Structure 1
Amino acid sequence: MTATVRRLLRQPAAVRFAILLLLVAACGVLLLVVPRPDPSELPGLADRLGTAAPVAAVAAGALLLVALVPRTFVTLASGAIFGPFEGAAYALTAALLAAAVGFTVGRLLGREFVAERVRGRLARLDGWFTRQSVFGVITVRLLPIAGFGLVSYGYGTTGARLLPFLAGSVIAAAPSAFGYAAVGAAVASPGDVQWFAVAPAGLGLIASLVLVRHWWRAERRRRAAEG
C-alpha cells in the first residue's frame, strides 16, 4: 500500500465519502466530454497490439467500466475486435476486474461513513445487502437502476460480501455479454459472423431468470419463517 493510499485511509470518514462522490462525478463528466472511438477502427487494434491484445483489452475494458462507461459499449467493442466468443470472454473478465475495483474503492472510501449514519429503513436495507447471496446480487444487477460501475461503487458502501458480489455480477453479465459481443462482431465483419454465437445469450438469460426465481422463493420462505 502506497503512502498516498495510507494517508487517504487515515482521513475522516466524511472526507473519504466526499472523495468518493467527487470521483464518481468526475467520471460522469468525463463520460460526457471524451469522444468515443470510431467502431470501424476497432478491429485493427488487435493486429497492432499482437499477443498483448487480450491483456490490453481486459485492462482497458475494466478501466472504462470503473470510469462509468456503459458495459454495452465495452462488450460491443470487444466483440468487434476479437469476435463473438473471445470478445465475450474478455468482456466478462474485464467486468469481473472492474466489479472488484469498484467494490473495493466504495468499501474503503464510503463504507464507514454509511455504516455510521444508516438508521431505520436504511439500516434494514443495509442489513439486506449484508445477508445477500449470489442470487440477490444477480437480481440487483439485472434491474435497470444504474450502470455497472455505479452499482459496484454503491455495493462497496454497503455491508455486502465481496465474493458473492463478484460471482453474482459475472453471472448477471454473462447473457448480454455473449449477445452484445456477437452484435459487435457482426458490425465489424458481417460476412464472418456465425449467428449461433448468440445462442449462449439466450441460454444465459434463461439461467438467470431461473436463478432469480429461485432466490425470490427462498427470500419469501425466509421471511415467512421469520414472521
Structure 2
Amino acid sequence: METPHFRLKFIGLMGVLALVGIGVWQGHSLDLPQLMQGIDSLGPLAWLAFIVLYAVATVAFLPGSLLTLVGGALFGPILGTLVNLTGATLGAVLAFLIARHLGAEWVRNRAGSRLAAILDGVAAEGWRFVALVRLVPLFPFNVLNYALGLTRIPLLPYLLTTWIAMLPGAAAYTWLGYLGREAAVGGEDLIKKGLLVLGLLVAVALLPGLLLRWKAAQGPRWSIDELYRQQTTAQAMTLLDVRDAKDFHGEFGHIPGSLNIPLPELTARLPELRASGHTLAVVCHTDKRSTKAVQQMRQAGLDKVILVRGGVQAWKRRNWPLERG
C-alpha cells in the first residue's frame, strides 16, 4: 500500500527527472553571451546569482565546463574560481542529497550481493574514494554526484573532499575563461597570462596519472567484506591485529582467528612473519595503526601484505562475531 511518504518521494523523483530532462535537452543550446549579459546586469548580486545558477545547472545535468568558463570571464581568475567552485560544490551536494533521500534506500533493498559489496567498499574508502574520482575523471561529474549519494559516505567528508579535489580543475578552467575575455577586449600581458593558463592545464592533465601511481604504490587493500570472504576461501592467510594487547583482549574484542602483534613490537617479529610465507591481512581499530604497520612491513621487503580498510570497527558494524578476553 502506498504511503504519503512514498508518494512524496515519487513526486520528488519525477520532478528531478523532469529537471534533468530539460537540462540535457537544452544544455547544448545555451546562449553564453546572453547568459553573461544577464548575470552581469545584476551588479553586486551577480556572483550570488551565478552560484545559484551553477548549483541548479549541476543538478539538471547542464555542462559545468561551459559555466566555469563563463564564471572566469565574468568574475576574473580569483573570485571566479571561488564562485565556480562554490556553485559546483553546492550542486554536487544537492544531487548527493537528492539521491540519498529518494533512491538510496530503494537501491540498497534491491541490490544484489555484488552491488552491495561495491557500495560497502566505496563507503569504507570514504573521502579517499571521493578524492580519487574527483581528481581522476573516470565518470561524468553530474552522474557521479548522484551515484555517490547512493552510498553510505557521510555528507561532511563528501562536501569537503569535493571542494578541495575540484579546486585544481576549477582554477584552470576559470583562468581559461578569464583569458578568453581578456583576448576579446585586447587586454594586456596576454602571452604571460596564456602561459600561466597553459601551465595550469598541464598540471591538471598530469595530476590524474600521478594520483593513480600513488594509489598503486599504496598496494592492495581489502574492504571488511572482502576480508570476511577471504577468511572462508583463502589459503595460508594470517589476519594480523596491530592494536595493543589491552585493546585486543578488551571489551571491544577482536576478529576471530586474528594474531595480535602490537605495532611497537612489529619490528622484532618481522622475521617470524616473513618465515610463515602467508598473506598478511592487517587490521587495527580503524585503519590508522594498520596503515603504519603495512608501510613498515613493505619497507622491510614483505610483499604479500594487505591493508584491511575500516578495521575491527567496520567488522563490528556488520554485527559479525568478535572474541574477547
The answer to whether TM tops 0.5 is yes
Aligned residues: 216
Give me the TM-score of the superposition, normalised by structure 1.
0.79
Give, in whole Å, the separation in 1 of the partners of 2:150 and 2:90.
Answer: 18
Cα pair 2:51 2:84 within 8 Å, conserved: yes
**What displacement does 1:119 show?**
2.1
Give me the TM-score of the superposition, normalised by structure 2.
0.57
User: Which residue is equivalent to 1:11?
Assistant: 6
- Counterpart AA for 2:220: R
User: Runs of at least 4 residues of structure 1 off by over 6 A?
Assistant: none
Say whether residues 1:145 and 2:139 are aligned partners.
yes
User: Which residue is equivalent to 2:54?
Assistant: 61
- Counterpart AA for 1:145: F
Q: Which has the higher strand share?
A: 2
Structure 1 portions without partners, runs of 5+: 1-6
User: Which residue is equivalent to 1:3?
Assistant: none
Cα pair 1:58 1:91 within 8 Å, conserved: yes
**What displacement does 1:222 show?**
5.0
Partner deviation per Cα, 1:129-150 (whole Å, 9 max, x = no partner) = 211232211222323322x222
Matched ranges for 1:100-179 at <5 A: 100-141=93-134, 142-146=136-140, 148-179=141-172
Which sits farther off after the overlay, 189-198 or 172-181?
Answer: 189-198
Partner deviation per Cα, 1:54-73 (whole Å, 9 max, x = no partner) = 11111111111111112211
Change (3 A) 1:221 1:107: closer
User: Which residue is equivalent to 2:247?
Assistant: none
- Counterpart AA for 1:187: G
**What displacement does 1:34 show?**
5.9
User: Quick one: percent identity of the two aligned structures?
Assistant: 27
Give, in whole Å, the separation in 1 of the partners of 2:133 and 2:14.
Answer: 21
Q: Quick one: higher RCO (CA 8 Å, sep 6+), 1 or 2? A: 1
- Counterpart AA for 2:168: P
Give, in whole Å, the separation in 2 of the partners of 1:159 and 1:208.
Answer: 25
Kindly report the root-mean-square deviation, in angstroms, between the aligned alpha carbons of the 2 structures: 3.0
Change (3 A) 1:137 1:156: same
- Counterpart AA for 2:179: A
User: Which residue is equivalent to 1:4?
Assistant: none
Give, in whole Å, the separation in 2 of the partners of 1:116 and 1:66.
Answer: 25
- Counterpart AA for 1:11: F
Change (3 A) 1:225 1:78: closer
User: Which residue is equivalent to 2:85?
Assistant: 92
Cα pair 2:71 2:84 within 8 Å, conserved: yes
Of 68, 71, 79, 2:64 maps to 71
Give, in whole Å, the separation in 2 of the partners of 1:56 and 1:18.
Answer: 27
Cα pair 1:107 1:157 within 8 Å, conserved: yes
Q: Which has the higher helix share?
A: 1
